Amino acid sequence: MGSIYGRVFRITTWGESHGGGVGVVVDGCPPRVEIAEADIQFELDRRRPGQSRITTQRGEADAVQILSGVFEGKTLGTPISMMVWNQDARPQDYREMQDAYRPSHADYTYDAKCGFRDYRGGGRASARETIGRVAAGAIAKKLLRQWEKIEIVAYVKQIYDLVGEIDPKKVKLSQVEKNPVRCPDPQAAQKMFELIDKTRKEGDSLGGIVECVIRNVPPGLGDPVFDRLEADLAKAMLSIPASKGFEIGSGFSSVLMKGSEHNDLFYSSKGRIRTRTNRSGGIQGGISNGEDIVFRIAFKPTATILQPQKTVTPQGKNTILKPKGRHDPCVLPRAVPIVEAMSALTLADHYLLQRMIFM
Amino acid sequence: MGSIYGRVFRITTWGESHGGGVGVVVDGCPPRVEIAEADIQFELDRRRPGQSRITTQRGEADAVQILSGVFEGKTLGTPISMMVWNQDARPQDYREMQDAYRPSHADYTYDAKCGFRDYRGGGRASARETIGRVAAGAIAKKLLRQWEKIEIVAYVKQIYDLVGEIDPKKVKLSQVEKNPVRCPDPQAAQKMFELIDKTRKEGDSLGGIVECVIRNVPPGLGDPVFDRLEADLAKAMLSIPASKGFEIGSGFSSVLMKGSEHNDLFYSSKGRIRTRTNRSGGIQGGISNGEDIVFRIAFKPTATILQPQKTVTPQGKNTILKPKGRHDPCVLPRAVPIVEAMSALTLADHYLLQRMIFM
Amino acid sequence: MGSIYGRVFRITTWGESHGGGVGVVVDGCPPRVEIAEADIQFELDRRRPGQSRITTQRGEADAVQILSGVFEGKTLGTPISMMVWNQDARPQDYREMQDAYRPSHADYTYDAKCGFRDYRGGGRASARETIGRVAAGAIAKKLLRQWEKIEIVAYVKQIYDLVGEIDPKKVKLSQVEKNPVRCPDPQAAQKMFELIDKTRKEGDSLGGIVECVIRNVPPGLGDPVFDRLEADLAKAMLSIPASKGFEIGSGFSSVLMKGSEHNDLFYSSKGRIRTRTNRSGGIQGGISNGEDIVFRIAFKPTATILQPQKTVTPQGKNTILKPKGRHDPCVLPRAVPIVEAMSALTLADHYLLQRMIFM
Amino acid sequence: MGSIYGRVFRITTWGESHGGGVGVVVDGCPPRVEIAEADIQFELDRRRPGQSRITTQRGEADAVQILSGVFEGKTLGTPISMMVWNQDARPQDYREMQDAYRPSHADYTYDAKCGFRDYRGGGRASARETIGRVAAGAIAKKLLRQWEKIEIVAYVKQIYDLVGEIDPKKVKLSQVEKNPVRCPDPQAAQKMFELIDKTRKEGDSLGGIVECVIRNVPPGLGDPVFDRLEADLAKAMLSIPASKGFEIGSGFSSVLMKGSEHNDLFYSSKGRIRTRTNRSGGIQGGISNGEDIVFRIAFKPTATILQPQKTVTPQGKNTILKPKGRHDPCVLPRAVPIVEAMSALTLADHYLLQRMIFM
């Protein structure tokens, strides 16, 4: 279980960090959606390591191959299989992992679960697994754009104590892509870059907050009980490695408001029902209301650091882990396209479900 | 879609706030789990309105009936159907809802989704739907307790700006149940009670934070990719009405730590592998590590307030909503058993999945 | 697992033969489908025991209650909960079942599976469970009729060696309902009735074949791989108690044809693509082609007979089972509405899935 | 939808007959199952075209690659991705398919479903899709053999009017593999071979019956309601291209027996509960009883024949289809490993589900 996501737009990702490759199969994508390898590659390039000196240096082109499901530039309605070969796997960098559980990684828990593990890297908990998600998400994005002009923009809102000033209503992809931090506030981005670079040199790591806005969502997507749109987004976001929290609209700050302050009052504008404020974050009672969907995800500092750490061996003996090789001092810039992909997959699923009901 | 939760321990809830009744069918509960109506009723009584003057006054006994699946005090392995009749439905209190969308409720979005609505109350988005969850959760709790002594305790951590001081490691159900606020810090509870009561008289409402701890979880529950245990808990929590955010372990505060501070170092103790700190919140790489699972949920102030609010009619005309009748100034005390129920359902599902793999 | 059927039009049945009642929850029925209790009751009356002297005499009205999901005569898009109370349970008739496994029943296998059993009747394998299916099927039928004029007619084609002559293209529900055997060939029906009645007096039982035709199915329902429409129909039919085989179109007799005889040639008629013959049974490559869907189900003779039978006790000792009470000498007349219900549920599910893709 | 099979042991197949390749991802296979590429390749070689002159001559090695999920000869518990590259695709052979719907193929229905089609071959309805099933089935077989010594043997029972005499209790894989027809009765096999070869030269095709026996199944697999083991086997078999019918145990012949003849009487032997006869085919009330599971599948004559046929163009004009190239005069020998694979997948799924309940 666990490598299939979605109910009708369903993806299955596969691949370990150090096997033959990684990939995804998309089952349930409707026919006649225009798609090209370039659409997929664009997103994979945003996720890829080595984009700048502040990300991990694993040097792979991550060139995608579409193996099925697309014909003459359009989806066939059949499963879309996409893959990327592993090239720069360096199992020797991970040798010590065989003898020591890395703190705050999945090594120990995976052993506890399965009793058998590929010790050459993070296995399925590796960031490399997210390649499949990003490739599938690129297709979901195309579908949402072609059918409803739905637009998804995620960006780095905060790194450590540095907070960007960004207006979710106006921010554009081009602004996000202007700097390697993916923070569309250029001043904050510069400071963040410097902090990440300094932390990298110290062999340490940083966390932060990614914010995501989804525009042009038609009212009616989602469900009032278990499959609330925000519940599915929460699951999607907490399934991203290193995420520790999720909040939508007013989120945790709603706690300090009273109902009379917090409620979003309705008004009528050009034949559409709108809300004056958007504390709901675009979703009410589990269902989209047509306002922008806005949410935030907290990411912890990366677990891999280049400092010695106390830990134990699989046999339970005390030991010191002395990591060598590469590390990713801050995953947030590369998490941005993953957040977008998981958002797109979640919305595409709900969008198709809603078509059954009303269209 | 949307009223079924779980993959192998699956529940289906049914019922509107003003139909004949509400209920749940549990499919996939293993045979030979001891269960009695009293176990279910205990939890329903905690969820029930009218427990004190600070909760909504809808006066219903919510007496559960087990209609199938239990024989001579034990589960049969067949679907367990449980229901509660609606008694104190007062559709007349909701008449105005036919003519005005209540702000920050699901009235408008449900209409947008389905084009047809039972205007007599909140329909499926009503808190009354959670009766089925709590009844099913009581069974999941029994299973977890009988097989693994797993214990789930939730409590009110914060109301508005009042924060309780509670040690998640030690807090007990009996302490939580000692006061109507369900905050196990008695001083804070008293202040919270007074604030809620004051707010109730003003016709306004309050939000807050519920914290939940799960103890004695064996290592190995969960999955490294989409069905991470924390991802499923996040979905479960965000599916509870009025929730706006979820965080696990260090959560949003992890952002202000560096990796060298945040990592949970392993050590060995009495043949078990433990962590010195628990910033992971009991889950690493999506899989339980045997430490306490600790998470928090933000609840917004209740949308129903007894003050006039600007809104629109279903036809899009401006109007003023003047609510009358009852309101629930703070849902948190009653949300506590729902949080526990959803936690229990999520863990039972993962527990059974793990049995396939290893036991 | 096992009591949920369907992917998007999903039903959960519950109830043992001797618990409080039996019922079903329908999740995923779209809103605005017209439905009345009379629609459900009509189908339940066809399934009910005691319709004539050739069926089991358990005397229950099986009066359905709709508990949720329907408002002002239309579905709300929320779960539809329906139930029937058990009234004529006679556990004393089943006392001997506690001490002897009934041959060709599920007593032994259920014990082997679960290690615990309600010995008062057939439990979940009881025909009584099918009440929930028939109630849910009545809703699926309404949906199919309202949206596409799809019509489902099943009937008894054969009892033992007596075969009715029936033209699937023309047969109507009213003809089927004209006699208690539900065979629309009146001469054959009369002989069947006499044979069943004679067999009943001998305490023995009979099997036979039910044929089902589905008309006005739009081309395009179904899927080319696992979820072929005929594969889902096969599962649906083999899930009915006492069924032993399924065939579609030419079925087993296709074996004696060559490809040049068997292929259905296409032609064009009034702007529609049709086939000259219908050996495909209305489905090609897993997908409906617009011709009538025609299939047959073999039912074994009922396992319950009123003759002594050699068997063993749960402890493995040899014993003689001497059944008393009532028995159903031939289930086929009552299987007819169940076959229709399962067909309707299967088609409704595929119909909604196809709406996502193309409509 | 439609390319995922199973509930907990879940496979996703992908690939068209003329895309880059075909493959499968297995999600939910437990860790520590021994598996080698040779195990997979053995089964693929049995399914491969060109094994003798009586099968289609598409000449491909179908060499499998395991891309993930297996490490040091054992499954990791992570998704197992396997693929085979397409090599001998000859799209030119299929050019005429662009202009004429092939009778009793899926060309027309796929167009009706999706409005867009890869006209270069059968797409997803192609036999080539079954490569993924056979590869996944090889893994399921290993699991069943390693954990329970479960053994699955399928064979050709009948071709046209030629029936083999085979005792399902004793038949062995080695006997099945002795001749290219895969009929373990050597005399019948010889006649079948000659008939198929003659029919091949005539450009015509033949159908027949495959029988399958599954031994050493522990009692308790399956479920009493929708997910009956025979229901899931029926779906599995009717999902195989060209299948038209399924029967288990006494099957359609049960119709001509009375209950007193048909019931399988229990007796006790060496501490096990057994049945004297096996008309149930190893399953009672949806659950395995420990006897051999025996069932049969009817396959129609292959739709592709090398004779001119009347048909229509996609625009609805009358035309004559003059096929050229290769054809498979009888699919049954190659269907044998597919029947085994689908049986293994279905049993592995139920086996794991049963582990949750009882082991």
Report B:274-293 residues touching A (Cβ under 8 A). 275, 279-281, 283-290
Whether C124 sits inside 8 A of B4 (CB atoms) is no
Give residue B87's pLDDT band: very low, low, confident or very high (50, 70, 90). confident
| Percent of chain D surpassing pLDDT 90 | 82
pLDDT above 70 covers a percentage of chain D that reads 95
pLDDT tens per residue, range B298-353: 999 999 999 999 999 999 999 999 877 778 999 999 999 999 999 999 999 999 99
Q: How many residues does chain D have?
A: 359
> Per-residue pLDDT for A119 more than 90?
no
Q: Assign A38 to helix, strand or coil.
A: helix
CA distance C9 to C344: 11
DSSP D206: B
Rg, chain A, Cα only: 21
**pLDDT, tens digit, 9 for 90 and up, residues D140-169:** 999 999 999 999 999 999 999 999 999 999
Per-residue confidence (pLDDT) for residue C59, from 0 to 100? 60
| Residue B96, pLDDT score | 64
pLDDT the model gives residue C49: 81
pLDDT in tens, D99-137: 899 999 999 999 999 988 887 777 787 888 999 999 999
Confidence grade of residue C90 (pLDDT, cut at 50, 70, 90): low
Q: What is the pLDDT of residue B93?
A: 59
Q: Cite the beta strand spans of D58-207 per DSSP E.
A: 65-66, 70-71, 74-75, 80-85, 151-159, 162-163
C253/B contact by beta carbon, under 8 A:
no
Confidence band (pLDDT; 50, 70, 90) for C239? very high
Partners of residue D28 in chain A, C-beta under 8 Å: 1-2
∠ CA A38-A42-A48, rounded to 5°: 130
Between CA C281 and CA C291 the distance in angstroms is 7
Answer yes or no: is pLDDT of A58 > 60: no
Distance CA C81, CA C25 (A): 4
Give the Cβ contact number of residue B96 at 10 Å.
16
Nearest partner of C283 among C275, C271, C291, C274, judged by Cα: C291
- When CB atoms are compared, the residue of B23, B32, B123 closest to C81 is B23
d(C-alpha B192, C-alpha B183), whole Å: 9
C103/D263 CB distance under 8 A: yes
- Given this model, what pLDDT does residue A185 score? 98
Say if the Cβ atoms of B355 and D353 lie within 8 Å: no
pLDDT in tens, C303-316: 999 999 999 999 99
Q: What proportion of chain A, given as a percentage, has pLDDT over 90? A: 82
**Mean pLDDT of all residues belonging to chain A:** 93
Block residue for tokens 């554009």: A172
The yes-or-no verdict on residue A245 having pLDDT over 60 is yes
Q: Does B69 touch chain C (CB under 8 A)?
A: yes
Contact of A223 with A285, CB cutoff 8 Å: no
Q: Which of residues 298-357 of C touch A (CB under 8 A)?
A: 352-353, 355-357
| Long-range contacts of residues C197-202, Cβ cutoff 8 Å, at least 24 apart | C197/C53, C197/C54, C197/C329, C199/C329, C199/C330, C199/D258, C200/C53, C200/C54, C200/C327, C200/C329
* DSSP track, A69-113: SEETTEE-SS-EEEEEE-----GGGGGGGGTSPPTTSSHHHHHHH
Which chains are within 8 Å of B by 3+ CB pairs? A, C, D
In terms of residues, how long is chain A?
A: 359
Alpha-carbon distances, residue D35 vs D30, D41, D130, D216 (angstroms): 12, 11, 20, 21
Contact D48, D180 (CB under 8 A): no
Dump pLDDT digits (tens) for A155-212. Answer: 999 999 999 999 999 999 999 999 999 999 999 999 999 999 999 999 999 999 999 9
pLDDT of residue D96: 64
Interatomic CA distance for residues D334 and D47, integer angstroms = 5
For chain D, the 3-state helix, strand and coil shares in percent, each to the nearest 5, are 35, 25, 45
What pLDDT does A90 receive? 60
Count of beta carbons in the 10 Å neighbourhood of residue D203: 16
With CB atoms and an 8 Å threshold, state whether C356 touches A357: no
pLDDT single digits (tens) D263-313:
999 999 998 999 999 999 999 999 999 999 999 999 999 999 999 999 999
Name the residue with tokens 């939730």.
B154
Q: What is the pLDDT of residue B89?
A: 58
pLDDT-derived band of residue B258, with 50, 70 and 90 as boundaries? very high
Strand-strand pairing, C21-27 and A309-312? unpaired
User: How far C19 CA sits from the closest chain A CA (Å)?
Assistant: 29
Each residue of C260-283: pLDDT tens digit? 999 999 999 998 999 999 999 999
Task: Give the residue among D181, D248, D178 at the shortest CA–CA distance from D212.
Answer: D248
Residue A267 touches chain D, beta carbons under 8 Å = no
- Best C300, C309, C327, C339 residue to mutate vs chain D (most D CBs within 10 Å): C300
In this predicted structure, the answer to whether residue A94 has a pLDDT above a threshold of 70 is no
Query: With a CB-CB cutoff of 8 Å, which residues 1-30 of chain B face chain A?
Result: 1-5, 7, 13
Least CB–CB distance from C21: residue in B8, B16, B67: B67
pLDDT value of residue D89: 58
Number of neighbouring beta carbons within 10 Å of residue A155:
28
**Identity of the residue in D31, D224, D355 whose CB atom sits nearest the CB atom of B355:** D355
Which pLDDT score is estimated for B95?
A: 65
**DSSP H or E segment with residue C295:** strand C293-299
Query: Which residues, numbered 94 to 123 in chain D, qualify as contacts with chain A under a Cβ-Cβ cut-off of 8 Å?
Result: 113-118, 123
Joined together, the tokens standing for residue A317 give: 């003996």
Inter-chain contacts counted by CB atoms under 8 A, chains A and D? 142
Contact D77 B357 (CB under 8 A): yes
The predicted structure's pLDDT at residue A61:
81
B19 in Cβ contact with C68 (< 8 Å) = yes
pLDDT at B97 over 80: no
pLDDT tier at A136, thresholds 50, 70, 90 = very high
Instruction: Give the residue among A78, A80, A48 at the shortest CA–CA distance from A65.
Output: A80
Higher per-residue pLDDT: C326 or A287: A287
A266-303 pLDDT tens trace: 999 998 999 999 999 999 999 999 999 999 999 999 99
**Cα–Cα distance between D299 and D295 in angstroms, integer?**
13
D114:A76 CB<8 A: yes
Q: Å from C290 to nearest chain D CA?
A: 9
Structure ipTM: 0.96
List all residues 6 or more positions away from A234 whose beta carbon is below 8 Å from its beta carbon. Answer: A246, A248, B231, B234, B235, B237, B238, B246
Predicted local confidence at residue C168, as pLDDT: 97
pLDDT, residue A21, reads 92
B292: exposed, middle or buried (C-beta count within 10 Å: 0-12, 13-18, 19+)? middle
Q: In this complex, which of B23, B65, B71 lies closest to C118 when CB atoms are compared?
A: B71
Q: In this complex, do B301 and A2 lie within 8 Å of one another by their Cβ atoms?
A: no
Q: pTM, whole model, 2 decimals? A: 0.96
Chain D contact present for A132, CB below 8 A: no
For residues A11-27, average pLDDT: 92
Contacts of D253 (CB under 8 A, 6+ apart): none
The tokens describing C151, both together, are 């019509």
CA-wise closest residue to D123 among A68, B302, C49: A68
Distance from the C73 Cα atom to the nearest Cα atom in chain D, whole angstroms? 29
Q: Please check the confidence at residue D91 and state whether its pLDDT lies above 70.
A: no
Q: Which residues of chain C neighbour D28 with C-beta distances below 8 Å?
A: none
With a cut of 80, say whether residue B113 has pLDDT above it. yes
Give chain B's mean pLDDT.
93
Question: Which structural domains are found in chain A, ordered by start?
Answer: 4-358 (3.60.150.10)
Please give the average per-residue pLDDT across D176-195, as a whole number. Answer: 97
Q: Across the interface, which of A19, A74, A80 has its CB nearest the CB of D116?
A: A74
Angle, CA of C239, C243 and C245, to the nearest 5°: 105
Q: Please list every residue in chain B whose beta carbon sits closer than 8 Å to the beta carbon of residue A234.
A: 231, 234-235, 237-238, 246
Calpha distance C213→A208 (Å, rounded): 61
Mind listing the pLDDT tens digit for each residue in B220-250? Answer: 999 999 999 999 999 999 999 999 999 999 9
Find the mean pLDDT for residues D77-93: 81
* DSSP track, B113-173: HHS----SS-GGGSGGGHHHHHHHHHHHHHHHHHHH--EEEEEEEEETTEE----TTT--H
- Count contacts between C and D (CB, < 8 Å): 377
Q: Do you know the residue count of chain B?
A: 359
CB pair distance less than 8 Å for D248 and C232: no
Q: Which residue has the higher pLDDT, C20 or B311?
A: B311
